[in-house]
Amino acid sequence: MTFKEMNAGVMLLSAVVISVWVLMGAVGDPGATVPEVAARLCWAMLASVAFNIVAMIVFAILVSIAQGQELKDERADERDHAVSARAMRNGYVVASAGGAAAIFLWAFGFDFTVGIYVLFGGLMLAGATDAASRLYYYRIG
């Protein structure tokens, strides 16, 4: 496993963990106001950053031990740029769909907080799509 593949795996794991956390919060407190939901999502973003940092360190150590050599990031070459571009394109499509879905929900009179959750969920799903796409393109081509 390369550093870039591990990075994509950690991003995917982070998106799943944070999404589940936010979803559990939303289900547990359905009557939350907009400021309460916004504050919860702010914490989720901070938690996502912290989770990524800690998970990267932990997984880098674990993968290094498993492979018997230090896992180092290499300078990106043309294939890395191509993989990155294709993965980001996939992520943008999902993010755009999430944004459109949120606007439609507001347009059809749904509660504002529902749209916020859909928007946030769309962005998390876009991140997961980006990470999964990277793994796919690196592994399968």
Partner 1 sequence: MGKGQAAISNTIRVLRFNAGEMTQAALAEKVGVTRQTIVAIEQGRYSPSLEVAFRIAAAFGVPLEQVFQWHGQDQ
Nearer to partner 1, 83 or 94 (CB): 83
Q: Examine residue 51 and tell whether it contacts partner 1 (CB under 8 A).
A: no
Task: Report yes or no: 89 and 135 within 8 Å, Cβ to Cβ.
Answer: no
In the bound complex, what is the minimum distance in angstroms from residue 71's beta carbon to partner 1?
A: 13
In the bound complex, what is the minimum distance in angstroms from residue 76's beta carbon to partner 1?
A: 8
Task: Report yes or no: 91 and 8 within 8 Å, Cβ to Cβ.
Answer: no
Q: Is 123 exposed, middle or buried (0-12, 13-18, 19+ CB in 10 A)?
A: buried
In the bound complex, what is the minimum distance in angstroms from residue 4's beta carbon to partner 1?
A: 8
Q: Contacting partner 1 (CB under 8 A), which of 72, 75, 108, 109?
A: 75
> 128: how many CB neighbours lie within 10 A of its CB?
20
The residues binding partner 1 (CB under 8 A) are: 2, 74-75, 77-80, 82-83, 86, 137-138, 140-141
